[in-house]
Amino acid sequence: MSPARESAREDGAVRLASIDNPSPDEQRRAYEEEMRRVAVERRRGTPSGARPSYYHREIRRLYRLLVPEGASVLVLGSGDGGLLDALKPSRGVGVDIDAGAVEAAQAHYPALRFQTVESYERLEGVGGAAHATTAHTGARSDARGASERSNDTATFDFVLLPDLLVDCWDVQAVLAALRPFCHAHTRVIANSYSRLWQGPLSLARRLHLARPRLGRSWLDPHDTQNLLALEGFECFRTVSEILCPLPIPLVHRFMNRVLAKLWLVRAFCLTNFFIARPAPAPAPKPLTVSVVVPARNEAGNIRRICEEIPDLGGGTEIIFVEGNSTDDTWATLERTVPEFAHRNIKLLKQPGKGKGDAVRCAFAVATGDILMILDADLTVPAADLRRFHDAIALGRGEFINGVRLVYPMQDDAMRFLNLVANKSFALAFSWVLGQPIKDTLCGTKVLTRQNYERLAANRAYFGEFDPFGDFDLIFGAAKLNLRIIDLPIRYQNRVYGTTNISRWRHGVLLLRMLALATRRLKFV
């Protein structure tokens, strides 16, 4: 920095002063020099091999909840490399402006790759040939990640910015620099300090109770979401975390795992997480579709289903799964399906019990790019499947959830107590999932086969707990950070048979599943 320009520290932040009138580029370069100086100061103040602070252990824990093992991961501001290693990536790259931190991280984690950059706004050359180093042997990325490595690309499944935005001179430019590292399914995850904590953190740094930071860009959540949108990222989920950043015995765990999740309290949390995806683009070619129809005691609806399911996208496959009916559903299928030889229809006998088992059985043999579920009672009109197809093919969402609670229903379509219960569960699950979901029990749900395979591979996190199948998919989609979109439909009266749902017995199951989701997704 020139003698005519000096840096001064004030209230935990950096103030650049000069007797001349520096240009914006000069101001930015001076600021970046100060960023490097503070990064070195932060590193030297942390003994080599020292255990991370409680706050940084919590940040690592929270990122592990958001990033599945075996993904390809790029971390900006990787520091000592501990966060990247904790995520157990199949391909991991960390970048930092502190060359000393990069050198130490590379020596400590040789299976990962660390690079020094002059600025987080300019990331040219980052990640090239990163496929040559694979961390955590045995961890597997999905087929898309393997394909990218074989093609020598430098895109990543996850791009992370841990505690970085507050220090950036130009946050928008940093977000713009991320685009070359994103493919269509990349998730960008950033966490940033809340403005409410600006004063307490500045005081803590002056008292040497917290690591030094520049603290230039104190953004509120709306600012961050707006900047992401300006650079073509859709922020679809925000999470507030860490109410107590100190390891106070008997207090910190309860405050951070329970109190921090509550509606009136979470506004006081220290950090906000933002999960975003690249703005979606329409599919480059028509996608094929598999429509799964679980059918138990639905003999009277089989012909209508064959007639009314529309031809969609690049071709439609219909898979009936007969579920141990007590009427003649199976015989009706065997008689009726040959009359529709022009259609691609498969028949399966369900091996187990429950709709969830039927759906998993059918998805295992489905060949379509898009997987759909249509209840055989036709309370959701088959013609509405066109809407679901368009929503996912045009990239409007990645998990399309049917909603029966927007338009007025026919008088007998849903009993009053069922309606109240559905709306109550929807509010509770929206809070747990961190994304709005208005109707959890509508039978029509749609996602790509690629995302379903990822969901199935991570099913052990929750276990096979769901006889309905709805929550297995919803929880799995939330765990993978898929963009959930509600699609309103007009719910119709059942014209044949009776519902297979028991109001009270299944109501208790729903409460159990809500408790499971709360424990595995919220209070963790």
Span 327-351, pLDDT tens digits: 999 999 999 999 999 999 999 999 8
Measured between alpha carbons, how far is residue 317 from residues 51, 280, 285, 448 in Å? 55, 26, 17, 14
Q: Are 95 and 125 in contact (CB under 8 A)?
A: no
pLDDT over 90 percentage in the chain? 48
Instruction: Tell me the C-alpha distance between 338 and 234, whole Å.
Output: 46
Please check the confidence at residue 476 and state whether its pLDDT lies above 90: yes
Side-by-side strand order, sheet with 445-448 = 344-349, 316-322, 289-295, 370-373, 445-448, 399-403, 484-488
Name the helix (H) or strand (E) containing 299.
none
Please check the confidence at residue 455 and state whether its pLDDT lies above 90: yes
Please count the other Cβ atoms lying within 10 Å of the Cβ belonging to residue 340. Answer: 15
Range of 307-321, 397-411, 510-524 with top mean pLDDT: 307-321
List the domains of the chain with CATH numbers: 5-44 (no CATH), 54-239+273-278 (3.40.50.150), 289-522 (3.90.550.10)
Residue identified by tokens 């950090």 is 271
Model confidence at 150, pLDDT cuts 50, 70, 90, reads very low
Which whole number is the average pLDDT over 79-93?
A: 96
What tokens appear for 348 in the block?
A: 């399966």
pLDDT of residue 153: 47
Phi, psi dihedrals of residue 263, rounded to the nearest 5° = -55, -50
Please check the confidence at residue 17 and state whether its pLDDT lies above 50: no
Q: Are 389 and 457 in contact (CB under 8 A)?
A: no
Residue identified by tokens 């590193």 is 43
pLDDT over 70 percentage in the chain? 83
Looking at per-residue confidence, does 34 or 311 come out higher?
311
Query: By C-alpha distance, which of 106, 107, 108, 113 is closest to 90?
Result: 113
Instruction: Tell me the C-alpha distance between 113 and 110, whole Å.
Output: 7
Model confidence at 503, pLDDT cuts 50, 70, 90, reads low
pLDDT of residue 48: 57
Which whole number is the average pLDDT over 294-307?
A: 93
Looking at per-residue confidence, does 517 or 85 come out higher?
85
pLDDT tens-digit map of 204-254: 777 776 666 666 677 888 889 988 998 999 999 999 999 999 999 989 999
Name the CA radius of gyration of the chain, rounded: 26
Instruction: Tell me what the pLDDT averaged over the chain comes to.
Output: 83
pLDDT tens-digit map of 262-288: 988 989 999 999 999 998 877 778 999
What tokens appear for 501 in the block?
A: 């749902």
Q: pTM of this prediction?
A: 0.75
Q: Lowest-pLDDT range, 53-67, 366-380, 401-415? A: 401-415
The whole-angstrom distance between residue 34's C-alpha and the CA centroid of its chain comes to 34
Model confidence at 9, pLDDT cuts 50, 70, 90, reads very low
Label residue 435 left, alpha or beta by phi (over 0 means left) and psi (-120 to 50 means alpha).
beta
Residue identified by tokens 């020596």 is 107
Range of 158-162, 212-216, 508-512 with top mean pLDDT: 158-162
